[in-house]
Amino acid sequence: MNTIRIFGRAKRDANQQIAIVAKRHLIVFITVVLSFICVQSVPARKILAETGFENYVQPHKESPFQPSTKPVKNGRKSLEIFSEVKDRLHKSRHDFETDESIVSVEFWAYVEKGEQSFGINLNTAESHVDHNLRGPYLEWYDGDIRYHIDRGDPWHEITAYPVNRWHYVRIVADFEKESFDFYIGKSREAALASRPKRNLEFQNPAAAPQPKRFSIWAWAMTARGYMDDLVIYEGDTAITLAVEPTAKLTTLWGKLKKNKSVRGTTKMP
């Protein structure tokens, strides 16, 4: 009789263990399926450009866009931006392709003491020689970062920037709404956690619902500027940046291209 009871108890224990294992496998299976469904439902976002300017080469001696070894935020090089010429616009541009209407731009900036420094913009114009800047245009000027619109009072202050110190900038531009948000901080973490200035206007209405290029502008400068760790990507959600052991941004879209200067335009790497 005792043998039968022991056998029955062992059988029940075995069935319970089988049920527990089966339940665990079912939970794992459901989790994997749900994860797959969630991943499939989230569209892939491209990194449109990413460079730390480590392989950036001198376009020509008189170009306003030069590789610099001092100051540098990360790695060995940054991009130096400086042109005193008043009657000629210079720009360094990077063309890209995207089907998304929202694009984010991030970079480190350093500006020396002075008034006029560099400007940046995202553009939807079909031609790179179209100076209507159909998107957001910002510039660093006399301790303030400001943006420009081609109507009414053209210049609008966004915030002050620290002179002779690196600061991190993030811009999220929506080309359907024709507005952008601006973030700034002493580090990337601080910038992402900061309260942004929202719904700032584009300089001109967008020519298309997707941007086509990012440009850096230089002319009549009295304050030398520097840029490091530039990244441009789709969407308004901050991405996790991949870094090398030197803490320098990797180049996910391929080796940096050799720069060429044509009529005051330098093609960015």
At 37-71, the pLDDT tens digits run 443 444 567 999 999 999 998 888 889 999 999 99
- Phi, psi for residue 139 in degrees, rounded to 5: -145, 155
Per-residue pLDDT tens for 171-194? 999 999 999 999 999 999 999 999
Q: From the CB of residue 1, how many other CB atoms can be counted at a distance below 10 Å?
A: 5
Q: Which residues of 31-48 are buried (b: 16+ CB within 10 A; e: fewer)?
A: eeeeeeeeeeeeeebbbb
**Residue 116 vs residue 244, higher pLDDT:** 116
Domain 47-267 in CATH: superfamily?
Answer: Exo-inulinase; domain 1 (2.60.120.560)
> pLDDT at position 244, please?
44
Give pLDDT, residue 153: 86
pTM above 0.85, yes or no: no
Q: Classify 258 as helix, strand or coil.
A: coil
Q: Of 265, 173, 153, whose CA–CA distance to 219 is shortest?
A: 265
Contact 65, 79 (CB under 8 A): yes
Reported as a pLDDT band with limits 50, 70 and 90, residue 36 is very low
Residue-by-residue DSSP string for 6-48: HHHHHHHHHHHHHHHHHHHHHHHHHHHHHHHHHHHHSPP--EE
DSSP run (H or E) holding 67: strand 65-68
Please check the confidence at residue 206 and state whether its pLDDT lies above 60.
Answer: yes
Q: How far is CA 211 from the centre of its chain?
A: 13
Place of tokens 């350093």: 110
For the cut 90, the answer to whether the pLDDT of residue 98 exceeds it is: yes
pLDDT digits (tens, 9 = 90+) for 222-235: 999 999 999 999 99
Q: Cα 87 to the chain's mean position, in Å?
A: 31
Average pLDDT over residues 217-244: 92
- Residue 20: predicted pLDDT: 57
pLDDT digits (tens, 9 = 90+) for 249-261: 444 333 333 232 3
Burial of 169 (0-12, 13-18, 19+ CB in 10 A): buried
Least trusted range by pLDDT, from 16-25, 40-49, 207-216, 255-264: 255-264
Q: Mean per-residue pLDDT for 8-31? A: 54
Q: Cβ contacts of residue 57 below 8 Å, gap of 6+?
A: 67, 258, 259
What is the Cα–Cα distance from 21 to 53, expressed in whole angstroms? 54
Summarised one tens digit per residue, pLDDT across range 121-151 is 999 876 555 556 789 999 999 999 999 998 8
Q: From CA 135, how far away is CA 180, in angstroms rounded? A: 9
Domain residue limits, the chain: 1-42, 47-267
